Amino acid sequence: MDKPNEAKITLDKLVELVERTVHAADALRNENAVLANDLKDCQAALQLALEKVEMQSARIDLLEREAQSLRKGAHWHHWFQNKYRNSTFFSCIEREYRTAHPEYDEGKGNVLVA
């Protein structure tokens, strides 16, 4: 007589187990959906960050090229000044340059903005 009673308990426990499993599966599906949305948000944020890094990298490259150009110009300027400062025509060349390019006239305190 014990066997039918055990079978009924086992069947009840099986039904309860199935119900808990269904609830757990639903909870996992919901959590998975939330995590999938979080993943999409993270991927979008990563893409924006990568684009920003690329733009900053391009800006850095541009600034480095401009700095190199400025170093070359400064080097040439110092070389030219040191080489020809005492020559007869240096003051004429300097005056002509300042007339043609007043934005670079150091005496006026002007600053160029790139």
| pLDDT value of position 28 | 97
Report pLDDT digits (tens) over 22-56: 999 999 999 999 999 999 999 999 999 999 999 99
Mean pLDDT of the chain: 87
Residue 63's pLDDT is 97
Alpha carbons 37 and 57: distance in angstroms, whole number:
30
Higher-scoring residue by pLDDT: 84, 35:
35
pLDDT at 56: 97
In 3D space, the residue among 87, 68, 86, 85 whose CA is nearest the CA of residue 77 turns out to be: 85
Task: Determine the pLDDT at residue 1.
Answer: 47
CA-to-CA distance for 41 and 49, rounded, in angstroms? 12
